[in-house]
Amino acid sequence: MTFPLQPDHEMNKPMKITVQVVSADQIRVPFQVGEDRSRTWVLSRTPQGIQLKHDHRHADGTPDRLTDYGGTDAGTRLGIQLIFPADAQTTALLPEAVSNVWSLRLSADQKHLFYYLERHAQPRFEAAFDLSP
């Protein structure tokens, strides 16, 4: 985690992602924080653009109450960065997330993936992942 830097933050644990290509139109990225394996990023190709959804599950596999939020990058890409403003489904599920913008950025050498979230145009969370085998 690169932001926030508070040592007691719930996300301040070892993080790991695994990229799983499901089909030509979908990639799933399980995201582990410490021993918590409840999160998966789902990237899907849609007619509107590339969609990012956050799939949260309980240990038994049932969906969490707060799941399937995110947005669609509708061509706002900046080089090797995708930008996902909160969509209507997210706003209905989490009204406080109406201004959320997530981004995924691949380093120029394609060895690191950066996940970033801002709310009200202020940084909220950032993590960097080493993509080396």
Q: Is residue 7 part of a domain?
A: no
Answer yes or no: is 75 within a domain. yes
The answer as to whether 5 is a domain residue is: no
Helix intervals (H) in the chain: 88-93
Q: If phi over 0 gives left and psi between -120 and 50 gives alpha, with beta otherwise, what is residue 40?
A: beta
Closest to 99 (Cα-Cα) out of 128, 124, 65: 124
pLDDT digit string, tens, across residues 41-57: 999 999 999 999 999 99
Does any domain span residue 1?
no
Q: Do the domain assignments include residue 57?
A: yes
What is d(CA 41, CA 55) in angstroms, rounded to the nearest whole number?
Answer: 6
Res 78: pLDDT: 62
Q: What is the pTM of this model?
A: 0.89
How does pLDDT run across 13-22, given as a tens digit for each residue? 888 999 999 9
Domain containing 71: what range? 15-130
Per-residue confidence (pLDDT) for residue 10, from 0 to 100: 66
Q: Does the residue 93 lie in any domain?
A: yes
Weakest mean pLDDT among 53-67, 74-88, 90-104: 74-88
* Cα–Cα nearest to 72, from 105, 43, 111: 43
**53 in a domain, yes or no?**
yes
pLDDT for res 132: 85
Assess if residue 10 is contained within a domain.
no
> Which strands, in side-by-side order, build the sheet including 81-85?
81-85, 101-106, 112-119, 122-130
